[in-house]
Amino acid sequence: MRTLNLPAALHLASLAAALAVLVIALHAGRAAGGPANQEFQAKLNYCETCHGPSAQGFRGYFAMPRLAGQHPQYIENELRAFIERRRKNPVMFSVAHTLKPTLVSALATHFEKLNPPPYGGAPRAGAAFGKEIFEQGLPEDNVPACFACHGLKAEGRGQIPRLAGQLYWYIIKVLTNWSNERGQGAPDISAIMLPTTHNLTRAQVEALAAYLSSLR
Amino acid sequence: MKRIVTKLALLTIVSCVAGPLLASETVPVKNCTWCHGPSGQGYSNAPRLAGQQELYLDAQLMNFRTHVRDNPYSRDFMWNAVVHVDEDMAHGFASYFASLPPEAANDGNRDLVASGRNIFEFGVPEANIAACIVCHGPNGEGVRGIPRLGGLSYFYLKRRLEEWAEGYSPAAEPMPKVARSLSGRDIEALASYLSFLEYGAER
Protein backbone atom coordinates (compact mmCIF):
# COMPACT_ATOMS: atom_id res chain seq x y z
CA MET A 1 0.00 0.00 0.00
CA ARG A 2 1.34 3.39 -0.94
CA THR A 3 1.41 6.03 1.71
CA LEU A 4 -0.06 9.41 0.94
CA ASN A 5 2.50 12.16 0.48
CA LEU A 6 0.52 14.93 2.11
CA PRO A 7 2.56 18.03 1.08
CA ALA A 8 2.67 16.88 -2.56
CA ALA A 9 -1.07 16.19 -2.59
CA LEU A 10 -1.80 19.64 -1.17
CA HIS A 11 0.45 21.19 -3.76
CA LEU A 12 -1.37 19.35 -6.54
CA ALA A 13 -4.76 20.32 -5.14
CA SER A 14 -3.84 24.02 -4.98
CA LEU A 15 -2.50 23.86 -8.55
CA ALA A 16 -5.77 22.31 -9.71
CA ALA A 17 -7.74 24.99 -7.87
CA ALA A 18 -5.68 27.76 -9.44
CA LEU A 19 -6.21 26.21 -12.86
CA ALA A 20 -9.96 25.98 -12.27
CA VAL A 21 -10.09 29.64 -11.24
CA LEU A 22 -8.17 30.58 -14.38
CA VAL A 23 -10.49 28.57 -16.65
CA ILE A 24 -13.59 30.05 -15.02
CA ALA A 25 -12.17 33.55 -15.32
CA LEU A 26 -11.43 33.02 -19.02
CA HIS A 27 -14.96 31.77 -19.62
CA ALA A 28 -16.46 34.65 -17.71
CA GLY A 29 -14.34 37.04 -19.75
CA ARG A 30 -15.69 35.58 -22.96
CA ALA A 31 -19.27 35.60 -21.72
CA ALA A 32 -19.25 39.10 -20.28
CA GLY A 33 -16.90 41.33 -22.17
CA GLY A 34 -14.50 39.45 -24.40
CA PRO A 35 -13.96 40.76 -27.93
CA ALA A 36 -16.10 38.02 -29.53
CA ASN A 37 -18.99 38.82 -27.24
CA GLN A 38 -18.66 42.56 -27.80
CA GLU A 39 -18.80 42.01 -31.53
CA PHE A 40 -21.91 39.84 -31.12
CA GLN A 41 -23.64 42.40 -28.88
CA ALA A 42 -22.87 45.26 -31.26
CA LYS A 43 -24.23 43.32 -34.22
CA LEU A 44 -27.31 42.23 -32.26
CA ASN A 45 -27.99 45.88 -31.37
CA TYR A 46 -27.61 46.74 -35.02
CA CYS A 47 -30.13 44.06 -36.10
CA GLU A 48 -32.61 45.19 -33.45
CA THR A 49 -32.35 48.83 -34.54
CA CYS A 50 -34.55 47.88 -37.49
CA HIS A 51 -36.07 44.54 -36.48
CA GLY A 52 -37.18 45.92 -33.12
CA PRO A 53 -36.41 45.11 -29.48
CA SER A 54 -36.27 41.33 -28.95
CA ALA A 55 -36.45 41.07 -32.77
CA GLN A 56 -40.22 41.50 -32.48
CA GLY A 57 -40.35 43.23 -35.88
CA PHE A 58 -40.97 46.93 -36.50
CA ARG A 59 -43.15 49.00 -38.77
CA GLY A 60 -41.25 51.93 -40.21
CA TYR A 61 -41.72 53.24 -43.74
CA PHE A 62 -41.18 49.59 -44.65
CA ALA A 63 -42.22 46.69 -42.46
CA MET A 64 -39.23 44.93 -40.92
CA PRO A 65 -39.97 41.27 -40.24
CA ARG A 66 -40.05 39.63 -36.85
CA LEU A 67 -36.99 37.41 -36.47
CA ALA A 68 -37.87 36.14 -32.97
CA GLY A 69 -38.65 32.44 -33.01
CA GLN A 70 -37.48 32.13 -36.60
CA HIS A 71 -35.51 29.06 -37.63
CA PRO A 72 -31.74 29.45 -38.06
CA GLN A 73 -31.69 27.53 -41.30
CA TYR A 74 -34.29 29.83 -42.82
CA ILE A 75 -32.42 32.95 -41.65
CA GLU A 76 -29.14 31.62 -43.04
CA ASN A 77 -30.80 30.74 -46.37
CA GLU A 78 -32.33 34.19 -46.72
CA LEU A 79 -29.06 35.96 -45.90
CA ARG A 80 -27.39 33.92 -48.63
CA ALA A 81 -30.25 34.77 -51.02
CA PHE A 82 -29.70 38.49 -50.29
CA ILE A 83 -25.98 38.16 -50.98
CA GLU A 84 -26.55 36.29 -54.25
CA ARG A 85 -29.32 38.75 -55.12
CA ARG A 86 -31.84 35.95 -55.56
CA ARG A 87 -33.82 37.90 -52.99
CA LYS A 88 -33.92 41.55 -53.99
CA ASN A 89 -33.39 44.00 -51.15
CA PRO A 90 -30.60 46.61 -51.42
CA VAL A 91 -30.43 47.27 -47.68
CA MET A 92 -30.28 43.62 -46.68
CA PHE A 93 -27.74 42.97 -49.42
CA SER A 94 -25.37 45.41 -47.81
CA VAL A 95 -26.16 44.06 -44.33
CA ALA A 96 -25.69 40.42 -45.30
CA HIS A 97 -22.46 40.59 -47.23
CA THR A 98 -20.55 42.07 -44.31
CA LEU A 99 -21.72 39.40 -41.82
CA LYS A 100 -19.19 36.75 -40.81
CA PRO A 101 -20.54 33.17 -40.97
CA THR A 102 -19.79 32.58 -37.27
CA LEU A 103 -21.77 35.68 -36.37
CA VAL A 104 -24.67 34.62 -38.58
CA SER A 105 -25.09 31.33 -36.77
CA ALA A 106 -24.71 32.94 -33.34
CA LEU A 107 -27.35 35.57 -34.18
CA ALA A 108 -29.72 33.07 -35.79
CA THR A 109 -29.51 30.78 -32.75
CA HIS A 110 -30.14 33.76 -30.49
CA PHE A 111 -33.21 34.92 -32.43
CA GLU A 112 -34.72 31.44 -32.45
CA LYS A 113 -34.91 31.45 -28.64
CA LEU A 114 -36.67 34.82 -28.35
CA ASN A 115 -40.42 34.86 -27.86
CA PRO A 116 -41.82 38.39 -27.44
CA PRO A 117 -45.56 38.91 -28.02
CA PRO A 118 -46.69 39.80 -31.57
CA TYR A 119 -45.98 43.42 -32.65
CA GLY A 120 -49.67 44.32 -32.53
CA GLY A 121 -51.67 47.18 -33.99
CA ALA A 122 -52.81 45.06 -36.92
CA PRO A 123 -56.38 44.91 -38.27
CA ARG A 124 -58.19 41.79 -37.05
CA ALA A 125 -60.91 41.75 -39.69
CA GLY A 126 -60.91 38.54 -41.70
CA ALA A 127 -58.80 36.58 -39.20
CA ALA A 128 -61.36 33.74 -39.10
CA PHE A 129 -61.32 33.50 -42.89
CA GLY A 130 -57.51 33.62 -42.76
CA LYS A 131 -57.50 30.65 -40.39
CA GLU A 132 -59.73 28.76 -42.79
CA ILE A 133 -57.39 29.43 -45.74
CA PHE A 134 -54.40 28.50 -43.61
CA GLU A 135 -55.89 25.19 -42.50
CA GLN A 136 -57.87 24.14 -45.57
CA GLY A 137 -56.50 26.11 -48.48
CA LEU A 138 -58.76 27.34 -51.29
CA PRO A 139 -59.16 24.26 -53.51
CA GLU A 140 -61.32 26.16 -56.02
CA ASP A 141 -58.65 28.87 -56.41
CA ASN A 142 -55.65 26.55 -56.67
CA VAL A 143 -54.32 27.48 -53.20
CA PRO A 144 -53.06 24.60 -51.03
CA ALA A 145 -53.43 24.58 -47.25
CA CYS A 146 -50.56 26.61 -45.77
CA PHE A 147 -50.29 24.44 -42.67
CA ALA A 148 -49.11 21.48 -44.76
CA CYS A 149 -45.64 23.09 -44.92
CA HIS A 150 -45.75 25.83 -42.26
CA GLY A 151 -47.22 23.63 -39.50
CA LEU A 152 -50.56 23.73 -37.71
CA LYS A 153 -49.47 26.58 -35.46
CA ALA A 154 -47.58 28.30 -38.29
CA GLU A 155 -44.42 27.42 -36.41
CA GLY A 156 -42.42 26.45 -39.52
CA ARG A 157 -39.46 24.12 -39.47
CA GLY A 158 -35.91 24.14 -40.85
CA GLN A 159 -35.95 26.09 -44.07
CA ILE A 160 -39.72 26.62 -43.94
CA PRO A 161 -40.27 29.91 -42.08
CA ARG A 162 -42.30 30.38 -38.94
CA LEU A 163 -45.20 32.73 -39.76
CA ALA A 164 -46.84 32.93 -36.32
CA GLY A 165 -46.66 36.47 -34.95
CA GLN A 166 -45.16 37.87 -38.14
CA LEU A 167 -46.01 41.52 -38.86
CA TYR A 168 -49.31 42.08 -40.66
CA TRP A 169 -47.82 44.60 -43.12
CA TYR A 170 -44.79 42.43 -43.81
CA ILE A 171 -46.96 39.41 -44.67
CA ILE A 172 -48.97 41.55 -47.08
CA LYS A 173 -45.84 42.98 -48.70
CA VAL A 174 -44.30 39.53 -49.11
CA LEU A 175 -47.40 37.81 -50.52
CA THR A 176 -48.20 40.61 -52.96
CA ASN A 177 -44.62 41.08 -54.12
CA TRP A 178 -43.26 37.55 -54.39
CA SER A 179 -42.34 37.47 -58.07
CA ASN A 180 -40.53 40.84 -57.81
CA GLU A 181 -38.41 39.96 -54.80
CA ARG A 182 -37.83 36.23 -54.58
CA GLY A 183 -36.08 33.72 -56.82
CA GLN A 184 -34.51 36.46 -58.95
CA GLY A 185 -32.06 35.23 -61.57
CA ALA A 186 -31.81 31.68 -60.29
CA PRO A 187 -34.88 29.78 -59.09
CA ASP A 188 -34.63 28.48 -55.54
CA ILE A 189 -36.92 26.95 -52.93
CA SER A 190 -38.95 30.20 -52.95
CA ALA A 191 -40.41 29.08 -56.30
CA ILE A 192 -42.85 26.82 -54.43
CA MET A 193 -44.76 29.90 -53.24
CA LEU A 194 -45.00 31.60 -56.62
CA PRO A 195 -48.27 30.10 -57.98
CA THR A 196 -49.92 30.44 -54.57
CA THR A 197 -49.07 34.12 -54.26
CA HIS A 198 -50.47 34.73 -57.76
CA ASN A 199 -53.70 32.93 -56.96
CA LEU A 200 -54.48 34.77 -53.72
CA THR A 201 -56.66 37.86 -53.95
CA ARG A 202 -55.84 40.99 -51.94
CA ALA A 203 -58.71 40.26 -49.55
CA GLN A 204 -57.45 36.71 -48.99
CA VAL A 205 -53.92 38.01 -48.33
CA GLU A 206 -55.27 40.48 -45.78
CA ALA A 207 -57.25 37.73 -44.08
CA LEU A 208 -54.16 35.52 -43.82
CA ALA A 209 -52.12 38.44 -42.47
CA ALA A 210 -54.77 39.23 -39.86
CA TYR A 211 -54.76 35.61 -38.70
CA LEU A 212 -50.99 34.98 -38.72
CA SER A 213 -50.01 38.29 -37.13
CA SER A 214 -52.15 37.49 -34.08
CA LEU A 215 -50.64 34.04 -33.44
CA ARG A 216 -48.31 33.64 -30.49
CA MET B 1 -26.99 87.72 -22.16
CA LYS B 2 -27.98 88.02 -25.78
CA ARG B 3 -29.47 84.54 -25.57
CA ILE B 4 -31.55 85.43 -22.53
CA VAL B 5 -32.88 88.55 -24.25
CA THR B 6 -33.84 86.56 -27.33
CA LYS B 7 -35.47 83.96 -25.16
CA LEU B 8 -37.46 86.54 -23.23
CA ALA B 9 -38.53 88.26 -26.42
CA LEU B 10 -39.69 84.96 -27.89
CA LEU B 11 -41.51 83.98 -24.76
CA THR B 12 -43.27 87.32 -24.65
CA ILE B 13 -44.37 86.94 -28.22
CA VAL B 14 -45.47 83.37 -27.79
CA SER B 15 -47.42 83.91 -24.60
CA CYS B 16 -49.01 87.30 -25.32
CA VAL B 17 -49.85 87.36 -28.98
CA ALA B 18 -52.90 85.44 -30.05
CA GLY B 19 -52.95 86.69 -33.60
CA PRO B 20 -56.26 87.39 -35.34
CA LEU B 21 -57.58 84.20 -36.84
CA LEU B 22 -57.81 83.90 -40.59
CA ALA B 23 -61.06 82.50 -41.91
CA SER B 24 -59.33 79.20 -42.80
CA GLU B 25 -57.64 78.81 -39.44
CA THR B 26 -59.39 76.99 -36.65
CA VAL B 27 -56.35 77.20 -34.36
CA PRO B 28 -54.14 80.21 -33.58
CA VAL B 29 -51.27 79.26 -35.90
CA LYS B 30 -49.78 82.75 -35.60
CA ASN B 31 -48.38 81.61 -32.27
CA CYS B 32 -46.32 79.06 -34.17
CA THR B 33 -45.42 81.05 -37.27
CA TRP B 34 -43.55 83.80 -35.40
CA CYS B 35 -40.72 81.35 -35.01
CA HIS B 36 -41.48 78.66 -37.58
CA GLY B 37 -42.09 81.11 -40.42
CA PRO B 38 -45.26 82.51 -42.04
CA SER B 39 -45.70 79.44 -44.23
CA GLY B 40 -44.24 77.01 -41.69
CA GLN B 41 -40.94 76.71 -43.58
CA GLY B 42 -38.91 77.23 -40.41
CA TYR B 43 -35.56 78.91 -39.87
CA SER B 44 -32.16 77.48 -39.05
CA ASN B 45 -33.01 77.41 -35.36
CA ALA B 46 -36.71 76.49 -35.62
CA PRO B 47 -37.57 73.49 -37.77
CA ARG B 48 -39.78 73.42 -40.86
CA LEU B 49 -43.30 72.31 -39.92
CA ALA B 50 -44.74 72.54 -43.44
CA GLY B 51 -45.30 69.07 -44.87
CA GLN B 52 -44.24 67.35 -41.66
CA GLN B 53 -46.12 64.14 -40.80
CA GLU B 54 -49.34 64.98 -38.96
CA LEU B 55 -49.08 62.20 -36.37
CA TYR B 56 -45.50 63.19 -35.67
CA LEU B 57 -46.38 66.88 -35.09
CA ASP B 58 -49.22 65.84 -32.85
CA ALA B 59 -47.01 63.54 -30.80
CA GLN B 60 -44.24 66.13 -30.47
CA LEU B 61 -46.65 68.77 -29.10
CA MET B 62 -47.65 66.27 -26.43
CA ASN B 63 -43.99 65.36 -25.84
CA PHE B 64 -43.22 69.02 -25.12
CA ARG B 65 -46.12 69.15 -22.68
CA THR B 66 -45.03 66.03 -20.83
CA HIS B 67 -41.36 67.10 -21.08
CA VAL B 68 -40.49 63.81 -22.76
CA ARG B 69 -38.70 65.82 -25.42
CA ASP B 70 -36.05 67.51 -23.34
CA ASN B 71 -33.30 68.83 -25.60
CA PRO B 72 -32.21 72.41 -24.78
CA TYR B 73 -34.30 74.35 -27.34
CA SER B 74 -37.37 72.27 -26.53
CA ARG B 75 -36.87 72.91 -22.83
CA ASP B 76 -36.19 76.61 -23.30
CA PHE B 77 -38.87 77.44 -25.85
CA MET B 78 -41.37 74.71 -26.61
CA TRP B 79 -42.21 73.62 -23.06
CA ASN B 80 -43.61 77.09 -22.36
CA ALA B 81 -45.08 77.54 -25.81
CA VAL B 82 -47.38 74.53 -25.46
CA VAL B 83 -48.62 75.13 -21.92
CA HIS B 84 -52.07 76.08 -23.21
CA VAL B 85 -52.16 73.60 -26.08
CA ASP B 86 -54.70 70.87 -25.36
CA GLU B 87 -55.21 67.74 -27.41
CA ASP B 88 -57.78 69.26 -29.76
CA MET B 89 -55.59 72.24 -30.45
CA ALA B 90 -52.60 69.94 -31.06
CA HIS B 91 -54.62 68.02 -33.67
CA GLY B 92 -55.53 71.32 -35.29
CA PHE B 93 -51.94 72.57 -35.44
CA ALA B 94 -50.71 69.21 -36.70
CA SER B 95 -53.21 68.94 -39.53
CA TYR B 96 -52.71 72.59 -40.54
CA PHE B 97 -48.92 72.40 -40.84
CA ALA B 98 -48.91 68.92 -42.36
CA SER B 99 -51.06 70.28 -45.19
CA LEU B 100 -48.62 73.07 -46.16
CA PRO B 101 -46.23 72.27 -49.04
CA PRO B 102 -42.62 72.22 -47.77
CA GLU B 103 -39.60 73.63 -49.55
CA ALA B 104 -36.09 72.22 -49.22
CA ALA B 105 -33.66 74.14 -46.99
CA ASN B 106 -30.71 73.47 -49.36
CA ASP B 107 -28.26 74.67 -46.70
CA GLY B 108 -25.95 71.68 -46.31
CA ASN B 109 -22.49 71.03 -47.68
CA ARG B 110 -22.83 69.89 -51.31
CA ASP B 111 -19.54 67.98 -51.15
CA LEU B 112 -21.02 65.65 -48.53
CA VAL B 113 -24.28 64.86 -50.34
CA ALA B 114 -23.09 61.65 -52.01
CA SER B 115 -21.72 60.16 -48.80
CA GLY B 116 -24.82 61.26 -46.88
CA ARG B 117 -27.06 59.59 -49.40
CA ASN B 118 -25.04 56.41 -49.13
CA ILE B 119 -25.45 56.29 -45.36
CA PHE B 120 -29.15 57.14 -45.64
CA GLU B 121 -29.88 54.39 -48.14
CA PHE B 122 -27.55 51.59 -47.05
CA GLY B 123 -26.24 52.46 -43.60
CA VAL B 124 -22.69 51.38 -42.79
CA PRO B 125 -23.01 47.67 -41.97
CA GLU B 126 -19.32 47.32 -41.00
CA ALA B 127 -19.83 50.00 -38.35
CA ASN B 128 -23.29 48.72 -37.35
CA ILE B 129 -24.99 51.89 -38.61
CA ALA B 130 -28.54 51.15 -39.74
CA ALA B 131 -30.00 52.47 -43.01
CA CYS B 132 -32.30 55.47 -42.35
CA ILE B 133 -34.40 54.72 -45.45
CA VAL B 134 -36.16 51.72 -43.89
CA CYS B 135 -38.07 53.92 -41.43
CA HIS B 136 -37.94 57.40 -42.99
CA GLY B 137 -38.73 56.33 -46.56
CA PRO B 138 -36.96 56.62 -49.94
CA ASN B 139 -37.29 60.42 -50.09
CA GLY B 140 -36.98 61.02 -46.37
CA GLU B 141 -40.71 61.75 -46.39
CA GLY B 142 -41.52 59.90 -43.17
CA VAL B 143 -44.77 58.09 -42.47
CA ARG B 144 -47.38 58.14 -39.68
CA GLY B 145 -45.51 59.09 -36.48
CA ILE B 146 -42.09 58.85 -38.16
CA PRO B 147 -40.93 62.32 -39.17
CA ARG B 148 -40.19 63.66 -42.60
CA LEU B 149 -36.47 64.53 -42.81
CA GLY B 150 -36.21 65.54 -46.46
CA GLY B 151 -35.70 69.28 -46.84
CA LEU B 152 -35.20 70.09 -43.14
CA SER B 153 -32.39 72.48 -42.38
CA TYR B 154 -28.84 71.25 -42.00
CA PHE B 155 -28.48 72.92 -38.60
CA TYR B 156 -31.62 71.40 -37.20
CA LEU B 157 -30.83 67.88 -38.44
CA LYS B 158 -27.25 68.06 -37.21
CA ARG B 159 -28.23 69.35 -33.80
CA ARG B 160 -30.94 66.72 -33.29
CA LEU B 161 -28.56 63.87 -34.08
CA GLU B 162 -25.91 65.33 -31.79
CA GLU B 163 -28.42 65.80 -28.98
CA TRP B 164 -29.55 62.19 -29.15
CA ALA B 165 -25.95 61.08 -28.97
CA GLU B 166 -25.57 63.35 -25.91
CA GLY B 167 -28.47 61.59 -24.19
CA TYR B 168 -31.42 63.95 -24.73
CA SER B 169 -34.90 62.56 -25.48
CA PRO B 170 -33.87 59.02 -24.55
CA ALA B 171 -37.42 57.71 -25.04
CA ALA B 172 -37.25 58.19 -28.79
CA GLU B 173 -35.71 54.76 -29.43
CA PRO B 174 -34.09 53.71 -31.67
CA MET B 175 -32.78 57.22 -32.47
CA PRO B 176 -30.47 57.61 -29.45
CA LYS B 177 -28.88 54.26 -30.32
CA VAL B 178 -28.58 55.18 -34.00
CA ALA B 179 -27.14 58.63 -33.26
CA ARG B 180 -24.49 57.21 -30.92
CA SER B 181 -23.18 55.03 -33.73
CA LEU B 182 -22.63 58.02 -36.06
CA SER B 183 -19.35 59.94 -36.30
CA GLY B 184 -19.31 63.75 -36.55
CA ARG B 185 -18.56 63.38 -40.25
CA ASP B 186 -21.49 60.95 -40.74
CA ILE B 187 -23.84 63.43 -39.09
CA GLU B 188 -22.65 66.30 -41.29
CA ALA B 189 -23.03 64.12 -44.39
CA LEU B 190 -26.56 62.99 -43.49
CA ALA B 191 -27.71 66.50 -42.57
CA SER B 192 -26.25 67.84 -45.82
CA TYR B 193 -27.91 65.21 -48.01
CA LEU B 194 -31.30 65.58 -46.33
CA SER B 195 -31.27 69.39 -46.55
CA PHE B 196 -31.30 69.12 -50.35
CA LEU B 197 -34.09 66.54 -50.62
CA GLU B 198 -37.05 68.11 -52.37
CA TYR B 199 -40.63 67.47 -51.40
CA GLY B 200 -41.96 64.57 -53.45
CA ALA B 201 -38.66 64.33 -55.33
CA GLU B 202 -38.56 61.57 -57.92
CA ARG B 203 -35.46 59.43 -57.88
For residue B15, the model assigns a pLDDT of 42
For residue A175, the model assigns a pLDDT of 98
Give the A window 92-121 contacts with B, CB below 8 Å: 94-95, 97-99
Instruction: Output phi, psi for B37, to 5 deg.
Output: 90, 150
Residue A25 has pLDDT above 70, yes or no: no
- The count of CB pairs under 8 A between chains A and B is 56
Nearest CA in chain A to B133: A61
Q: Which of A38, A43, A44, A46 is most worth mutating to test chain B (most B CB atoms within 10 A of its CB)?
A: A46
Residue B37 has pLDDT above 70, yes or no: yes
B140 touches chain A (CB under 8 A): no
Query: Which one has a higher pLDDT value, B23 or B26?
Result: B26
What are the tens digits of pLDDT across the range B153-176? 999 999 999 999 999 999 899 999
Instruction: Output phi, psi for A20, to 5 deg.
Output: -60, -45
At residue A85, what is the residue type? R
Cα of first residue to Cα of last residue in chain A, in angstroms, is 66
What are the tens digits of pLDDT across the range A58-76? 999 999 999 999 999 999 9
Residue A17 has pLDDT above 90, yes or no: no
Question: Which domains are delineated in chain B?
Answer: 26-99 (1.10.760.10), 110-202 (1.10.760.10)
pTM of the model: 0.82
Residue B179 has pLDDT above 60, yes or no: yes
Q: Mean of the pLDDT values across residues B37-58? A: 95
Q: What is the per-residue DSSP string for A161-202?
A: PP-TT--HHHHHHHHHSHHHHSS-SS--GGGGGHHHHHH--H
For residue B125, give the nearest of A45, A61, A95 by CB distance. Answer: A95
Residue B20 has pLDDT above 90, yes or no: no
What are the tens digits of pLDDT across the range A167-204? 999 999 999 999 999 999 988 999 999 999 999 999 99
For residue A24, the model assigns a pLDDT of 52
Alpha-carbon distance A107 to A76, whole Å?
10
Q: Write out chain B residues lying below 8 Å of A49, CB-based.
A: 130, 174, 177-178
Strands (E), A31-163: 58-59, 63-64
Complex ipTM, two decimals?
0.81
Taking an 8 Å cut-off on Cβ atoms, the answer to whether B122 and A94 are in contact is yes
Smallest CA–CA distance, residue B2 to chain A, in Å, is: 40
